[in-house]
Structure 1
């Protein structure tokens, strides 16, 4: 029996969902599809400049899964750039923090769609109470409502915190 795929935690809502090369071709270009969780691996790695292990902890997946996902994403983007394909960002198997103000732009998940169906689904993640924990050193701190744990830095080592 195949092990079920673990849904990834995504704490960012991307507004633009389609990029296509310029040109006067009457036919629409071929498309490469990136999932929301694949985009999140790139964001955490290259924009947030987190190590793979820290980024994987934020997404609540194993570091090797993060690495494979990042590699696959870069291959897709390279294919689009080199071969003049459009890039569509949608779907994936992910979840977002709860509707308690801790999600992207404070809204949390919006719907109950599943794998490959637009925005992620997910039950309540965390809540106003609870703790944030440092994946690097294990230090715990009380969660601040309205502030994602990933935006808090560990007071001992400075690493981004994750929800316990």
Structure 2
């Protein structure tokens, strides 16, 4: 049995719920789901420029958990860019 997720501090939701390639109907695209905690981890580390230790403290998680969130989110984003998939949040 997996350990339950602890609550994480998230500073709001993204302004848009989906990003997709132009000119392709949504019904024809594969979709990848980006979780809110992954979005927040990317925002803190890549946009705000915080160190992982600082970002982990802001979110209320361990540094390793934050690193796992960032790694997962980056992989999903690159998959969407390279393979023309829709990114849903």
Partner of 1:30: 30
SS state at 1:87 partner: strand
1:35-79 per-residue CA deviation (whole Å, 9 max, x = no partner) reads 111100000001110000000000000000000110010000111
Runs of 4+ aligned structure 1 residues displaced above 4 Å come to 24-27
Q: Which has the higher strand share?
A: 1
> 5+ unaligned residues in a row in structure 1: which ranges?
90-164
Q: Which has the higher helix share?
A: 2
1:61 aligns with 2:61: yes
Distance 1:42 1:26, change over 3 A: closer
TM-score normalised over the length of structure 1: 0.51
In 2, Cα distance between the equivalents of 1:78 and 1:28?
A: 19
Deviation at 1:14, TM superposition (A): 1.8
> 5+ unaligned residues in a row in structure 2: which ranges?
none
Q: How many residue pairs end up in the alignment? A: 89
TM-score normalised over the length of structure 2: 0.90
Root mean square deviation of aligned Cα: 1.6
The structure, 1 or 2, with the larger RCO (C-alpha pairs under 8 Å, 6+ apart) is 2
Partner of 1:104: none
